[in-house]
């Protein structure tokens, strides 16, 4: 955003009125907020003034109003009094995602240097809408009872994100989730100002993307004949067929849906490990030739793509040739994690490859595998992301590293001047339990809300130059023990709200006690969205917070939603 817009925001901040005692809770915390006197009232007669390029923001806002408040607003291009204005000031010297939001008695104005910035300003405006009390209507909408309109308090906000990569992951390989829920998941991201969706599409337990040249991937690899009961290794098997996949048309639909929310989807095609669904479909891709079957259990499996077989690389290039056009993202995630080397050690083809190339061990063979795939992806104008195991044996030259086994891999990669996305299991693996005594089935581990909130994505030990290679961070949801959307939401909330503030807000602005105060309102938003969530009880710092939380407990919100009813907002 230009220096003129920053100056405008500063002037309004200085001239705004006194700080009010109670204000809407905004998560993530904006960079600068100044509350004033007065308010703007949104009614069904309020108009939105915006040009065509800001229609994604306008459409999201109107869909939100319609779904949760029972009305939407008329949109026009001509300026109008008592309206909500979206204004874009083209500039080259601003921060990506920067915006200014100003609410007065007469207008609401969102001004940004890009349409993406206007979208984030709109998300902040959504958080200024009242969330309680509310009532459910017969058609499922939530209607605010104030027939006179919704009062938005006077405020001026100037804001932009701290990190340019603010990500969330979803594993649809272990358990498949339908398109409607994937869209809802993307909406949750948008509401928290995240901008990268890491879609884990292939796994041992299921192949989820249609590849027209290899139809057996979805005819066979997308389905398993049962799933273990209980925690790995299981106490039995449910013998229930599970699976599914996304057609290429469905993927295009989801990609566009995300793009309308300024979210980039990064697909993950796992290699050389986590590949049994592909091997079950085409056994010649493995070192032994099979037979293979899509596993019912989880954990790390030793069967992997054969690194000594050129037909494997031809297969993967063909797959990527169909996948890459579906995703405009410059990144393709190729996995690279948890690849046992047992089959390579016993495979004549793999050992011959090592001898021919002068490789000293199987770690270097994996490095060769990854580098060969990277070279092909680079030739198509895209770049790879890999889990931090791809550092072993020598990292591919242009790779971005996703550091999941703690922070060590990210530190090492940044020192080598590789871009890094931090995703250490200790802080951002949302498949871990939220309480020490969680009676629901999880993969294990303990990750409470406050630990997520206090996470610092830039590791200690990096100097200022090396820290520039930390693009941001993301949270991961692995679905071994998440078989339905309600469980995903339960594991996601409230930790997603904490993550959003870690990635968006200035490091020095984070305050755990203040965040707890704001979460009392955020829980009401979860209820408004009909989203399931883990019900954490805060230890509030003052009586006012205690009262607010006590009122919230009266809602007795548990599983408010009906499974399978995931109508998206756009």
**How many whole angstroms from its chain centre is CA 247?**
21
**Parallel, antiparallel or unpaired: strands 400-403 and 420-422:** parallel
Please, what are the domains in the chain?
3-160 (3.30.379.10), 165-421 (3.20.20.80)
Closest CA to 316 of 279, 354, 355, 269: 269
* The three-state (H, E, C) secondary structure of 330-378, written as one string: CEEEEECCCCCCHHHHHCHHHHHHHHHHCCCCHHHHHHHHHHHHHHHHH
Q: Residue 508, exposed/middle/buried by CB under 10 A (0-12, 13-18, 19+)?
A: exposed
**Predicted local confidence at residue 547, as pLDDT:** 47
The confidence score (pLDDT) of residue 134 equals: 54
Find where tokens 């106490």 sit: 235
CA distance 109 to 438: 45
Residues of the chain with pLDDT under 50: 1, 4-21, 138-142, 145, 539-567, 570
- Element spanning 299, H or E: none
Tokens of 402: 């996703």
pTM: 0.91
- CA atoms within 13 Å, Cβ hemisphere of 565: 12
The pLDDT value recorded for residue 395 is 80
| Residue 336 CB neighbour total at 10 angstroms | 30
409 burial level (CB within 10 Å; 0-12, 13-18, 19+): buried
CA distance 286 to 291: 9
DSSP tag of 495: H
Map residue 481 onto helix, strand or coil: coil
Q: What are phi and psi of 209, to 5 degrees?
A: -120, 130
Cis peptide before 494 (omega within 30 of 0): yes
């Amino acid at each position: 955003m230009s220096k003129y817009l920053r100056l405008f925001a500063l002037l309004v901040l200085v001239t705004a009125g006194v700080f009010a005692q109670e204000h809407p809770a905004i998560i993530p915390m904006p960079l600068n907020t100044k509350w004033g006197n007065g308010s703007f009232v949104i009614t069904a007669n309020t108009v939105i003034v915006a040009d065509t390029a800001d229609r994604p923001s306008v459409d999201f806002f109107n869909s939100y109003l319609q779904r949760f408040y029972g009305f939407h607003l008329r949109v026009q291009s001509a300026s109008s009094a008592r309206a909500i204005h979206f204004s874009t000031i083209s500039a080259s010297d601003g921060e990506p995602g920067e915006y200014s939001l100003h609410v007065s008695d007469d207008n609401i104005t969102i001004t940004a240097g890009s349409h993406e910035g206007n979208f984030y300003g709109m998300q902040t405006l959504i958080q200024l809408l009242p969330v309680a009390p509310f009532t459910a209507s017969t058609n499922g909408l939530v209607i605010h009872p104030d027939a006179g309109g919704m009062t938005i308090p006077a405020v001026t906000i100037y804001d932009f994100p701290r990190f340019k990569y603010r990500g969330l992951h979803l594993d649809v390989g272990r358990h498949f989730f339908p398109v409607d829920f994937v869209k809802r998941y993307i909406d949750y991201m948008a509401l928290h100002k995240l901008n990268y969706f890491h879609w884990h599409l292939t796994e041992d337990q299921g192949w989820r993307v249609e590849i027209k040249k290899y139809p057996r991937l979805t005819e066979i690899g997308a389905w398993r004949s049962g799933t273990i009961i209980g925690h790995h290794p299981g106490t039995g098997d449910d013998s229930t067929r599970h699976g599914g996949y996304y057609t290429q048309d469905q993927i295009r639909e989801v990609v566009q849906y995300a793009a309308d929310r300024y979210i980039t989807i990064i697909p993950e095609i796992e290699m050389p490990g986590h590949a049994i669904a592909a091997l079950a479909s085409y056994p010649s891709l493995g070192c032994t030739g099979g037979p293979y079957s899509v596993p019912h259990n989880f954990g790390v499996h030793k069967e992997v793509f054969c690194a000594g077989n050129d037909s494997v690389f031809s297969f993967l290039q063909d797959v990527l040739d169909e996948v890459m056009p579906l995703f405009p993202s410059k990144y393709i995630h190729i996995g690279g994690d948890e690849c046992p080397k047992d089959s390579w050690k016993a495979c004549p083809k793999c050992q011959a490859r090592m001898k021919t190339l002068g490789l000293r061990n199987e770690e270097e063979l994996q490095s060769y595998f990854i580098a060969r795939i990277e070279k092909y992806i680079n030739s198509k104008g895209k770049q790879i992301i890999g889990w931090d195991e791809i550092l072993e044996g020598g990292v591919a030259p242009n790779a971005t590293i996703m550091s999941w086994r703690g922070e060590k891999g990210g530190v090492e990669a940044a020192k080598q001047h590789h871009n890094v996305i931090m995703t250490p299991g200790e802080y951002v693996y949302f498949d871990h339990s939220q309480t020490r005594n969680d009676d629901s089935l999880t993969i294990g581990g303990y990750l409470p809300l406050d630990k997520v909130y206090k996470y610092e994505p830039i590791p200690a030990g990096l100097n200022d130059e090396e820290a520039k290679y930390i693009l941001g961070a993301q949270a991961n949801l692995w679905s071994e023990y998440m078989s339905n959307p309600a469980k995903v939401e339960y594991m996601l909330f409230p930790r997603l709200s904490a993550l959003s503030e870690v990635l968006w807000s200035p490091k020095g602005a984070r305050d755990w006690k203040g965040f707890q105060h704001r979460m009392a309102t955020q829980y009401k938003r979860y209820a408004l969205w009909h989203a399931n969530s883990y019900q954490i009880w805060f230890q509030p710092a003052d009586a006012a917070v205690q009262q607010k939380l006590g009122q919230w407990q009266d809602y007795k919100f548990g599983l408010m939603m009906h499974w399978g009813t995931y109508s998206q907002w756009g």
